[in-house]
Structure 1
């Protein structure tokens, strides 16, 4: 079966990236990761990015560029990694999806546990070049 399409939101303020601890209703709850979500039928990656970020943390974003593509370790999802401009609004987390949200540096993120191997690769290899 082909993987389902999903987006990952790379939201930055200065040298920090927004990551969340996945909430009780989220797939693989408890992991620290950038915001992500499935594409709905007929939805573009950009539309999914804007919708998911707004639903999960209440931020309004403007998609900038797709910067990477990967698959989840279980092969269920193909992830499209997008940067986006984010305003100055405060994070208002959806408690079912997001247990906690933090703006972290690459070094801080890599020290968090648990994180996904694919996210580690992005933070180590891709993000520094963006």
Structure 2
């Protein structure tokens, strides 16, 4: 049942035709995986607020949410993933959190070569590429 699932946001940060991907630290959920910035929506928090908070906490960027792009269940079925595009307001990307071990700007082709990545990330970006 969808109402029993927790909400999480996936943040699509694009600059100069590249997307910001982070490698999660070994000791975190999704550890060692390359993925867009992401995180859970806290109690009494909107998705937009979660997008702003998670982006700043994980990579030190201040952003404005633009548009919810997509929604799907997570690979293991325990979250509803809400995909948001954003505009960067300020900051320089960094590993601002101990949850992140690396930060990398990648093209769609470079993203497909990252290992490991979540199936849903590949699906989202392949759809985005088809629509471009």
Q: CA deviation at 1:88?
A: 5.1
Does residue 1:87 correspond to 2:83, yes or no? no
1:13-92 to structure 2, matched below 5 A, reads 13-87=15-89, 89-92=91-94
Q: CA deviation at 1:93?
A: 1.3
Cα distance in 1 for residues equivalent to 2:128 and 2:6: 23
Cα distance in 2 for residues equivalent to 1:98 and 1:19: 10
TM-score, scaled to structure 1: 0.93
Q: Relative to 1, partners in 2 of residues 1:127 and 1:67: Cα closer, same or farther, differing over 3 Å? A: farther
Q: CA deviation at 1:25?
A: 3.4
TM-score, scaled to structure 2: 0.92
Kept in 2: contact 1:26–1:96 (CA 8 A): no
Q: Relative to 1, partners in 2 of residues 1:4 and 1:127: Cα closer, same or farther, differing over 3 Å? A: farther
Structure 2 unaligned regions, length at least 5 = none
Q: Tell me the C-alpha RMSD between the 2 structures.
A: 1.5
Kept in 1: contact 2:62–2:90 (CA 8 A): no
